[in-house]
Amino acid sequence: MWDARKTDIERFIEQAHSHHPTTKFTAEISNTETTFLDTVIYKGERFREQSILDIKTHFKPTETFQYTHYTSCHPPSVKKGFIKGEAVRLLRTNSSKTTFEESILNFKIRLVARGYPLNLIDKHLSEINYTERKSALKQNKKSTKDILPFVTQYEPSVPNIEQILMKKWHIIQEQPLLKKIFKDPPNISFKKGKSLKDMLVRAKI
């Protein structure tokens, strides 16, 4: 069986080389773990006791973890969403509490290296706990709702638009016609502004 499998692999590589000689393939064979998408399926403590496989997060060898730097001109909500989103991914892709805590610790170290304050990191990561893993694996039902977007370009020096809008929202609610049209406050949405590259580099000559 082993010889047949090796022959199939060799035949596949030869066929790939016939299309392009520089094409290279690597193969990894293990009796304890295998990679599937962004997870590693492995034989952990539960396998020895209950014959149940565990999973942990998989990172490619070429991953450099070049997260968006904290000083980058992005809204605070984007940075919060990125931290929380990655933490939820780590929660879902780690069936063991030990590997989850190790992944979160490494994530914190990488965020600090990208300029994120430790108190901000702890604040956002405190919302993600291993005890909530079962609920995190469930698919949430999306509710349809009419949203009124308020689109503007993000600029750190501009005062908080959402606070200003909500402070004056009662003016619209006091008008019967406007209250009927604008039932809910608009969602503040930020669009990307032109970068230095966008201004200096032209796609068309």
Percent of the chain exceeding pLDDT 70 equals 86
pLDDT of 36 > 50? The answer is yes
What is the pLDDT averaged over residues 168-185?
A: 86
pLDDT of residue 25: 67
pLDDT tens sequence across 3-33:
455 566 667 767 766 766 676 767 777 888 8
Write the pLDDT tens digit of every residue in 62-90.
889 999 899 988 888 889 999 999 999 99
Instruction: Report DSSP letters for the chain, one per residue.
Output: -HHHHHHHHHHHHHHHHHH-TT--------SSEEEETTEEEE--HHHHHH---EEEE---TT----PPPTTSS--HHHHHHHHHHHHHHHHHT--SHHHHHHHHHHHHHHHHHTT--HHHHHHHHTT--GGGHHHHHSPPPPPP----EEEEE--TTS--HHHHHHHSHHHHHTSHHHHHH--SPPEEEEEPPPPHHHHH--S--
Between 168 and 21, name the one with better pLDDT: 168
Structure tokens at 43: 């034989």
17 vs 120, higher pLDDT: 120
Greater confidence (136 vs 197) lies with 136
Rounded to whole angstroms, the Cα distance separating 37 from 58 reads 8
pLDDT at 92 exceeding the cut of 60: yes
Residue 159's contacts (CB-CB under 8 Å, 6 or more residues apart) are none
Mean pLDDT along residues 107-130: 93
pLDDT reading at 107 higher than 90: yes
